[in-house]
């Protein structure tokens, strides 16, 4: 190539690189480590952070030091003072920490201490794992431009098992997530370790996630075959230095499907032997295998009830085989029969309270935040607080199955905090769901929390650029359920979009209002399960075909005399499964919060709401308000033109434009449909449905990503 052309080519390449390095494609998530622009703050940090003193004996320690170098060099550049003070990093097993005589007794194996000692700054922990968590916490401190001079943070996780649940299939489709294919490239494993596996592990470790369930709860026994256990081993070996244990989902019929037995009866000696041998085999591949998550006797999944046994028989079969290896079983409470014996809301409580005390100590009941199914809002599941002898794994959905997939902007921390702070009154006031899950109400040893992941192999991991806030928020709340939604939103925003205060204020305001906005513009006032069947994207209040509890009419019960599901003692009495203090408040439409009103009550269209509006008008006005607030999110985001890089700004703008169209469609479809029952006029102030009801009922969406019915 002619020398000038070579120079030009190199110049162009460098320009391209320069442009690309500022084009934020989202791959770095919240671990961007962009240079601190505020020179005064950067100088204050450089003065407090001299050379790093650390010893990288273990892989984990090396990862911690590498992360620290990556972070400090990104944030502060490499020209840090060569003079004291220093950044002292490590455990009391290293001299420079030991000589400080710090009290680390409250930190356990995962906690960390960030503090100043004389002029030095210290990151200390009892283990290298704690040091890694401390490094990420320290870098988060710098990324959010928090002051260093009075640094004093001692933090230890309140819940031991903090897991992502990937509803990922071995064919690399992902159930209920729209973001490309599964990040687990099964066919290439164990030969090739994708570099992004390390970045996945870094992101999880940065927020304290210490476990990952690699496979879908609609389980596939193939993953238990040696051919796949080799692959699982490769992932486990990759994730282990980041403190991430690997778990799998166990298909209950595996002894039949891959074991050649003619039964999977949990009390059958051959079945017991099969699972013991299989589990021992798994541990030869993954010595620290975390254990199993099991979906059984639900939505067609096999389970013990096929053999006249119960959930305890099934869970204990696996638990007894896992116990010698320190493995656990998270047995899902998301169960409902094909014949509708009672209000579906009641079935899990009915089945599992009867089994309380029968489970092995290494069994936890994995329970969704609410009793139906990850609706945009649900009252807390009555099982929380109802099984003193059985711990619960709180299962939250990070992926937005009923909340617009990776198209709609919905920051979920406020919804999760609502559940966590709900009082079960199990042992008097203050028995919150959070304290049931962290074991403090009933002194449960086994504590766990799970988030159904919203991650796929798209470049930015979560599709919607703002959806990564939910992966982040899950990890932060799993570590400490006391952290506020506001603090988490502020942290994530600063780490992801920088520290310009006006930009941070606009983005955090959008995040913090987005969940209520989506509820109000889709399923307001306690309405639930009125989505389009199958793919669950968009409205379907008219859906009444097939099994009742998979329809919409079963839940809203709209008729000429009103709308809502009577779950009080005059109806299904699902409310009766809650503590008396909860029943007392929720039994009356006058005292229950409006946000749960139609979840527990069937009311006349003219029922007078607390606002003075009739129920019909309140429903219309609430939908309108929700749609207006989606429009406002778009306007606020438009104000960030130039403040946010063009690539991410353009994508979020397009998504918010679509979200506004979707919200208007949802409102129009539902109000046009409900008006056929209310027969009442729309309030003057709302934008009445643009089209006749038939238009909305006939609308079809094809090939919606994540729809299990379209994945094979």
| Closest to 88 in 3D by CA, of 151, 43, 44 | 151
Tell me: does residue 374 bind ligand GCW (CB under 6 A): yes
Is 421 catalytic? The answer is no
Least distance between ligand GCW and beta carbon 573 (Å) = 24
| Closest to 438 in 3D by CA, of 136, 158, 108, 153 | 158
DSSP assignment letter at 682: P
Residue nearest to ligand GCW (CB): 373
**Which one of the listed residues 37, 66, 188, 299 is annotated catalytic?**
299
Give exposure, 57-66, as e/b (b: 16+ Cβ within 10 Å).
ebebbbbbbe
Least distance between ligand GCW and beta carbon 296 (Å) = 11
Least distance between ligand GCW and beta carbon 417 (Å) = 21
If the CB atoms of residues 388 and 708 are measured against ligand GCW, the closer one turns out to be: 708
Is 373 catalytic? The answer is yes
Measured distance CA(319)–CA(6) in Å, rounded = 65
Peptide bond into 190 cis (omega under 30): yes
Burial of 534 (0-12, 13-18, 19+ CB in 10 A): middle
Least distance between ligand GCW and beta carbon 699 (Å) = 21
- Answer whether 160's CB lies under 8 Å from 448's CB: yes
Is 194 catalytic? The answer is no
If the CB atoms of residues 537 and 596 are measured against ligand GCW, the closer one turns out to be: 537
Tracing tokens 């794994």 back to the chain, one arrives at 393
Residues 483-522 that bind ligand GCW (CB under 6 A): none
Tell me: does residue 175 bind ligand GCW (CB under 6 A): yes
Applying CB under 6 A, what is the total number of residues that bind ligand GCW? 11
Tell me: does residue 217 bind ligand GCW (CB under 6 A): yes
Burial of 557 (0-12, 13-18, 19+ CB in 10 A): middle
396: left (phi over 0), alpha (psi -120 to 50) or beta: beta
**Which one of the listed residues 24, 395, 401, 423 is annotated catalytic?**
401
Least distance between ligand GCW and beta carbon 395 (Å) = 8
If the CB atoms of residues 175 and 618 are measured against ligand GCW, the closer one turns out to be: 175
Least distance between ligand GCW and beta carbon 452 (Å) = 8
Tell me: does residue 707 bind ligand GCW (CB under 6 A): no
Helix (H), strand (E), coil (C) string for 308-374: CCCHHHHHHHHHHHHHHHCCEEEEECCCCCCCCCCCHHHHHHHHHHCCCCCCCCCEEEEEECCCCCC
Binding mask 653-692 for ligand GCW (x = CB under 6 A): ----------------------------------------
Least distance between ligand GCW and beta carbon 535 (Å) = 10
Three-state secondary-structure class, residue 700: coil
- Answer whether 312's CB lies under 8 Å from 359's CB: yes
Q: In this chain, which of 167, 275, 352, 542 binds ligand GCW, going by CB under 6 A?
A: 167
Tell me: does residue 373 bind ligand GCW (CB under 6 A): yes
Report residue 337 as tokens.
Answer: 């029969």
Residues 279-308 that bind ligand GCW (CB under 6 A): 295
- Answer whether 467's CB lies under 8 Å from 489's CB: no
Tell me: does residue 344 bind ligand GCW (CB under 6 A): no
Q: In this chain, which of 218, 222, 263, 572 binds ligand GCW, going by CB under 6 A?
A: 218
Residues 382-401 that bind ligand GCW (CB under 6 A): 401
Least distance between ligand GCW and beta carbon 707 (Å) = 9
Residues 398-437 that bind ligand GCW (CB under 6 A): 401
Measured distance CA(161)–CA(246) in Å, rounded = 11
If the CB atoms of residues 401 and 566 are measured against ligand GCW, the closer one turns out to be: 401
Name the phi and psi angles at 630, rounded to 5: -65, -45
Tell me: does residue 708 bind ligand GCW (CB under 6 A): yes
By the criterion CB under 6 A, which residues form the site for ligand GCW? 167, 175-176, 217-218, 295, 334, 373-374, 401, 708
**Residues involved in catalysis:** 299, 373, 401
């Amino acid at each position: 190539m002619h020398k000038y052309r070579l120079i030009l080519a190199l110049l162009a390449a460098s320009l391209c690189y320069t442009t690309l390095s500022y084009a934020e494609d989202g791959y770095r998530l919240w671990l961007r480590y962009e240079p601190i622009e505020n020179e005064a703050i950067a100088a204050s940090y450089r003065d407090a952070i001299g050379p790093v003193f650390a010893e990288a004996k273990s892989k984990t320690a090396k990862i911690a030091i590498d992360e620290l170098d990556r972070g400090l060099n990104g944030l502060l550049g490499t020209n840090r003072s060569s003079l004291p003070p220093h950044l002292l990093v490590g455990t009391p097993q290293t001299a420079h920490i030991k000589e400080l005589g710090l009290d680390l007794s409250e930190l356990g194996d995962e906690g960390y201490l960030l503090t100043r000692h004389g002029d030095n700054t210290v990151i200390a922990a009892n283990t290298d794992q704690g040091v890694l968590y401390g490094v990420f916490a320290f870098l988060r401190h710098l990324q959010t431009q928090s002051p260093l001079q009075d640094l004093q943070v001692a933090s230890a996780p309140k819940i031991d098992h903090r897991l992502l649940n990937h509803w990922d299939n071995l064919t690399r489709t992902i159930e209920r997530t729209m973001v490309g294919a599964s990040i687990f490239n099964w066919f290439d494993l164990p030969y090739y370790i994708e570099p992004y596996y390390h970045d996945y592990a870094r992101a999880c470790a940065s927020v304290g996630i210490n476990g990952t369930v690699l496979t879908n709860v609609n389980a596939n026994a193939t993953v238990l075959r040696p051919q796949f256990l080799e692959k699982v081993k490769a992932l486990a070996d990759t994730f282990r230095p980041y403190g991430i244990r690997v778990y799998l989902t166990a298909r209950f019929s595996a002894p039949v499907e891959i074991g050649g037995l003619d039964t999977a009866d949990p009390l059958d000696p051959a079945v017991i032997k099969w699972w013991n041998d299989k589990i021992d085999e798994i541990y030869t591949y993954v010595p620290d295998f975390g254990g199993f998550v099991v979906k059984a006797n639900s939505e067609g999944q096999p389970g013990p009830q096929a053999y006249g046994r119960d959930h305890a028989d099934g869970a204990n079969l696996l638990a007894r085989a896992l116990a010698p290896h320190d493995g656990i079983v998270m047995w899902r409470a998301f169960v409902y029969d094909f014949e509708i014996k009672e209000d579906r809301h009641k079935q899990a409580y009915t089945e599992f309270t009867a089994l309380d005390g029968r489970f092995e100590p290494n069994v936890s009941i994995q329970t969704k935040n609410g009793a139906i199914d990850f609706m945009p809002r649900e009252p807390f599941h009555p099982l929380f607080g109802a099984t003193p002898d059985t711990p619960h794994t709180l299962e939250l959905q990070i992926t937005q199955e009923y909340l617009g997939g990776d198209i709609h902007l919905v920051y979920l921390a406020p919804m999760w905090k609502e559940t966590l702070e709900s009082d079960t009154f199990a042992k008097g006031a203050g028995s919150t769901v959070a304290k049931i899950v962290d074991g403090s109400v009933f002194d449960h040893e086994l504590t766990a929390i799970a988030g159904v992941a919203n991650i796929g192999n798209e470049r930015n991991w979560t599709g919607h650029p703002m959806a990564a806030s939910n992966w982040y928020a899950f990890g932060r709340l799993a570590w400490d359920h006391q952290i506020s939604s506001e603090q988490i939103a502020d942290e994530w925003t600063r780490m992801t979009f920088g520290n310009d205060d006006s930009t941070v204020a606009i983005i955090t305001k959008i995040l913090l209002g987005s969940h209520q906005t989506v509820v109000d513009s889709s399923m307001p006032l306690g309405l639930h399960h009125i989505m389009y069947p199958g793919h669950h994207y968009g409205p379907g209040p008219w859906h009444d075909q097939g099994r009742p509890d998979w329809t919409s009419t079963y839940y809203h019960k709209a008729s000429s005399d009103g709308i809502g599901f009577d779950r009080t003692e005059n109806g299904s009495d699902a409310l009766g499964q809650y503590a008396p203090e909860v029943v007392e408040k929720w039994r009356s439409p006058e005292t229950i919060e409006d946000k749960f009103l139609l979840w527990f009550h069937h009311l006349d269209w003219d029922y007078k709401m607390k606002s003075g509006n009739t129920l019909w008008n309140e429903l219309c006005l609430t939908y309108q308000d929700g749609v207006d607030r989606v429009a406002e999110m778009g306007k606020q985001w438009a104000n960030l033109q130039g403040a946010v890089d063009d690539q991410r700004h353009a994508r979020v703008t397009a998504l918010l434009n679509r979200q506004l169209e979707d919200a208007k469609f949802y409102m129009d479809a539902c109000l046009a449909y409900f008006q056929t029952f209310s027969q009442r006029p729309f309030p003057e102030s709302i934008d009445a449905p643009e089209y006749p009801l038939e238009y909305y009922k006939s609308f079809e969406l094809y090939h919606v990503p994540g729809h299990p019915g379209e994945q094979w």
